C-alpha cells in the first residue's frame, strides 16, 4: 500500500521481495531487535540466518552512544555515515525486515524516513514470511560492500517530539492523542518494566494500543480493518494527529506504521518513551 506522502509502498510481501531480490537498487536490511528480558541476541541471529545479501541495521549501534537511554536517535551526521557504510544510495529501494515479536523493523523504517529516505518499505511478516516461501538465506559474517552515497534530506512522513515539549503539553492538558504501544499490564503499572529503575504506569491522558494488537498470529500485520479496530479500542481517532510512545521508542514506530497504513502520517514519535519518562519526575497515572 502506498504512503499518503510517498509513492513507495509502506510494506511489501515476501513474494514481492523474492521476485525483486538482487535487482539493481534493491537493498535489504535486517533490523531485528529484542527486549532485554527475552534472552535473544539479534546479532547472533543475524549471523546464523538472514535473507541472502542483507546487511544489518543495528538500532543499538545506529544511535547516540552518549545518551543514557537505549538506542536514542543519532545525529544526522552519524546516521548518514552509518547508511553509507551499509552501501545505501539515495535512489535505493530499501527493504527492512525483522524477526522480532515487536516489529522492530518499523524503527528502521521510521528512522530512514526521518532522515529523508523516501524509498523504504517494511517486509510484512519479516523473516518468518521469507522462510515460509523458502526464500534464500545465508549465514556467517556479511560481505563487505562499497560505500554508498546516502545523504540526509528533509523528513518524509516522520516526525519526532522531545520530552520537554511533550511534558509541557501533558502538564497543560493539551497533548491531544497519545498512543502507548506497551502491553496492557505495563501501561497500567501492574507488570514490571523490563528495564530497571523505572516507575510503572503511563502518561496522563494516554491511551493504550499494544503493538501486539496490530500483529497477527503468523507475525504479519493484521488487516487494515483490524488495525483500525485496534486503535479504536484504545480510544484513538485515526484521522487526527497522534503522539506515539512505548518503552524505548521502537514499538511506537510500529504504531506510526499502522497509522500510515490507515492514511495518517501526522504522527509524532516520542523517542525517549518510557525509558525517559518513567525515570524522571514527570507526572504519571496508573490503572487502565
Q: List residues bridging with 11 in a β-sheet.
A: 122
Rounded to whole angstroms, the Cα distance separating 156 from 109 reads: 11
- Active-site annotation holder among 49, 98, 246, 253: 246
- 20: Cα within 13 Å, side-chain hemisphere: 16
Distances (CA, A) of 89 to 51, 86, 107: 20, 9, 19
pTM of the model: 0.96
Residues of the chain by 3-state class (helix, strand, coil), percent to 5: 30, 15, 50
C-alpha dihedral (257, 262, 267, 272), degrees to nearest 10? -30
pLDDT tens-digit profile, the chain (288 residues) = 446 667 899 999 999 999 999 999 999 999 999 987 888 999 999 999 999 999 999 999 999 999 999 999 999 999 999 999 999 999 999 999 999 999 999 999 999 999 999 999 999 999 999 999 999 999 999 889 999 999 999 999 999 999 999 999 999 999 999 999 999 999 999 999 988 889 999 999 999 999 999 999 999 999 999 999 999 999 999 999 999 999 999 999 999 999 999 999 999 999 999 999 999 999 999 998
Q: Which residue has the cell 507475525?
A: 219
Q: Domains plus CATH for the chain? A: 2-138 (3.40.250.10), 159-277 (3.40.250.10)
pLDDT at 37: 80
Q: Which residue has the cell 548518514?
A: 80
Rounded to whole angstroms, the Cα distance separating 112 from 120 reads: 7
- 246 noted as active-site residue: yes
Q: Is the distance from CB of 27 to CB of 288 less than 8 angstroms?
A: no
pLDDT at 4: 60
Amino acid at each position: 500500500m502506498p504512503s499518503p506522502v510517498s509513492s513507495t509502498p509502506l510494506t511489501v510481501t515476501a513474494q514481492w521481495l523474492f521476485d525483486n531480490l538482487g535487482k539493481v537498487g534493491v537493498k535489504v536490511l535486517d533490523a531485528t531487535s529484542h527486549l532485554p528480558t527475552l534472552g535473544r541476541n539479534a546479532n547472533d541471529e543475524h549471523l546464523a540466518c538472514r535473507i541472502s545479501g542483507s546487511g544489518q541495521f543495528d538500532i543499538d549501534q545506529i544511535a547516540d552512544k552518549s545518551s543514557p537511554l537505549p538506542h536514542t536517535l543519532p545525529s544526522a551526521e552519524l546516521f548518514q555515515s552509518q547508511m553509507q557504510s551499509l552501501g545505501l544510495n539515495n535512489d535505493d529501494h530499501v527493504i527492512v525486515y525483522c524477526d522480532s515479536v515487536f516489529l522492530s523493523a518499523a524503527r528502521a523504517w521510521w528512522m530512514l524516513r526521518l532522515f529523508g529516505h523516501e524509498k523504504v518499505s517494511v517486509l510484512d511478516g519479516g523473516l518468518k514470511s521469507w522462510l515460509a516461501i523458502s526464500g534464500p538465506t545465508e549465514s556467517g559474517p556479511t560481505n563487505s560492500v562499497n560505500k554508498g552515497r546516502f545523504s540526509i534530506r528533509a523528513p518524509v512522513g516522520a516526525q519526532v517530539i522531545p520530552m520537554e515539549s511533550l511534558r509541557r503539553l501533558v502538564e497543560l492538558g493539551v497533548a491531544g492523542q497519545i498512543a502507548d504501544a506497551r502491553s496492557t499490564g505495563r501501561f497500567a503499572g501492574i507488570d514490571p518494566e523490563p528495564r530497571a529503575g523505572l516507575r510503572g504506569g503511563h502518561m496522563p491522558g494516554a491511551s493504550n494500543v499494544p503493538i501486539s494488537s496490530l500483529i497477527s498470529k503468523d507475525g504479519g500485520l493484521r488487516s487494515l480493518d483490524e488495525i483500525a479496530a485496534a486503535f479504536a479500542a484504545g480510544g484513538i481517532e485515526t484521522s487526527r494527529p497522534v503522539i506515539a510512545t512505548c518503552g524505548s521508542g521502537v514499538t511506537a514506530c510500529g504504531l506510526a506504521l499502522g497509522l500510515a497504513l490507515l492514511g495518517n502520517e501526522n504522527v509524532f514519535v516520542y523517542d525517549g518513551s518510557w525509558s525517559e519518562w518513567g525515570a524522571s519526575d514527570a507526572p504519571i497515572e496508573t490503572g487502565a
